[in-house]
Amino acid sequence: MTNWQTILLNEEYSSENVYIIELNRPEAMNSLNTLMANELIECLKELHEKEDLRVLILTGSGEKSFCVGADLKERKGMTNKQWKQQHDIFEEAYGLLRNFPFPVIAAVNGFALGGGMEMLLSCDLRYVSEHVKMGLPEVKLGIIPGVGGTQLLPRAIPVGLAKEFLFRGNQIDAQRALEAGIVNGLFVKEELLLNTLEIAKEIARNAPLSLKALKQSINNGLQTDINTALTIELDQYYKCANSEDRLEGILSFNEKRKPNWQGK
């Protein structure tokens, strides 16, 4: 296992097909600097090749912060060229997160601001602890979200509500995020990772080809018209219907046993 400086990779649950990435800069509220972005890229590429991975959990170290976005201390004094070079790295990291082949679950354990909120929006499912606050405050800093915030938020909640959050740039609490539909569930902080892990394990027990096909079908279908989307769904359906795992699923059901998925 690679030893990274700003992230931790927990493989303790790999026997249950779940891996956990922990953002590990607690002294800086887990803010995203260039090194962390590069290490996320390396880690996500490495995990992409893991044959036993079915679900990935992303969380932050400690109980105070998930991620408060870009490290503004590092950005202080950057030229426009340096800023652009760094942002290119950020874009690649977030793109790998959004396009990860299997479900990615955010276990949000504290502040999720700016790029931190965009990070949780880049995940497929989002669970938060009760003390969490999140927001996209870029408008207060003379910029706008640049790694998906203006596109992912209005795809997750009503457009008018997304615009309000973006125009005002204020923080919202965990309950408001739940009511708005930004997050899937809310837990007391002591049970956040445990409960998220149980959900991840439940998902990981399902057919791997089906999980990948579901994610592809939903994500790609949302970007187009309904007829094209149905064609995308049908293409993914037949990838599963013509697989060995589909035969195993039927056989295990009739034999009243757990399926032995092969991912093919």
Residues with catalytic function: 118, 138
Residue 37 to residue 236: CA distance in whole angstroms: 32
Strand extents, DSSP E, 130-227: 133-135, 172-173, 185-187
Residue 248 to residue 259: CA distance in whole angstroms: 6
Half-sphere exposure at residue 56, Cβ-oriented, CA atoms within 13 angstroms: 30
Strand extents, DSSP E, 18-132: 18-23, 55-60, 65-67, 104-108, 111-113, 125-129
Residue 250 to residue 263: CA distance in whole angstroms: 15
Amino acid, res. 35: L
Whether the Cβ atoms of residue 21 and residue 27 lie closer than 8 Å to each other: no
Cα–Cα distances in angstroms (integers) from residue 149 to residues 53, 89, 108, 244, in the given order:
27, 17, 17, 39
Residue 75 to residue 10: CA distance in whole angstroms: 30
